[in-house]
Copies of this chain bind each other. A is one copy, B any other.
Amino acid sequence: MTPGSTPAACAALLRRDLTLVWRRRGDAFNPLLFALIVVALFPLALGPEPEQLRRIAAGIVFVALLLAGLLALDTLFRSDYEDGSLEQLVLSPHPLSLLLACKIGVHWLTTALPLIVLAPLLGELLHLPGEVRGVLVVALLLATPLLSLIGAVCVALTVGMHRSGMLLALLVLPLYVPILIFGAGACNAAQAGLPSLAPLLWLAAALVLALVLAPLACAAALRISIS
């Protein structure tokens, strides 16, 4: 790892991004609180009958986490673009897709993983049956990296824009639909006592594909939108 080698560059990037997250560790709780509040809105809006809540619990947790992840996406490249360090990544002598993969990894680790840890609690708030909890966590573990990877491509496309928040949501959400169907589908199947392996396998396959393709697509998109 001599300075300037590719592993050193990735290590420097990881260290920097983790330090930045640590420096503003207060912000790290925002997605958690957001998800919590969104989940809390539903009993208020729908009325508190446990039977009804139980039936829709998994789906609502999934949607809440997806929306929280969506709002968090905005921070992925935004500050790097604004302060010009994204330019430096593009101009660095290392494969851009690899550097971006590091960034996406840190982002997933610091925004999505805490949400997954929170998920069982959110389920509990909505009286989610205990036996579904395991499937929910597994589905989220497969689905959230996919969300981050696909989201990153869309963020890369919109990074140079003002007020991209809404637009980003419009670009990203249609692409999230299949993930939501499979992820929530697995939970619903488990809740109905049906086998839930098939949709999880589909998610896993998609994740493998995205792990390979998304960083490349992300790099290409970034090159387009930075010019």
A180 with B44: CB separation less than 8 A: yes
Quickly give the copy total for this chain: 2
A221 located at the interface, meaning its Cβ lies under 8 Å from any Cβ of chain B in the complex: no
A47 with B188: CB separation less than 8 A: yes
CA distance A170 to B31 in the complex (A): 9
Q: Which of A5-38 contact B (CB under 8 A)?
A: 27, 30-31, 33-34, 37-38
Smallest CB separation, A123 vs chain B (Å):
13
B66 with A41: CB separation less than 8 A: yes
B residues in contact with A177, CB < 8 Å: 40-41, 44
Which residue on B lies nearest to A187, using beta carbons?
A: B45
The 3 closest A-B pairs by CB, nearest first: A45-B59, A30-B166, A46-B59
With contacts A37-B173, A56-B56 known, is A44 near B181, CB below 8 A? yes
Q: Which of A156-185 contact B (CB under 8 A)?
A: 162-163, 165-167, 169-170, 173-174, 177, 180-181, 184
A52 located at the interface, meaning its Cβ lies under 8 Å from any Cβ of chain B in the complex: yes
A44 with B184: CB separation less than 8 A: yes
A78 with B163: CB separation less than 8 A: yes
Q: How large is the interface on A (under 10, 10 to 19, 20 to 34, 35 or more residues)?
A: 35 or more
B residues in contact with A184, CB < 8 Å: 44-46
Q: Which one, B45, B163, B188, contacts A62 given CB within 8 A?
A: B45
CA distance A112 to B102 in the complex (A): 40
B residues in contact with A181, CB < 8 Å: 44-45
A63 located at the interface, meaning its Cβ lies under 8 Å from any Cβ of chain B in the complex: yes
Which residue on B lies nearest to A49, using beta carbons?
A: B55
A79 located at the interface, meaning its Cβ lies under 8 Å from any Cβ of chain B in the complex: yes
Smallest CB separation, A136 vs chain B (Å):
12
Q: Which one, B30, B56, B173, contacts A170 given CB within 8 A?
A: B30
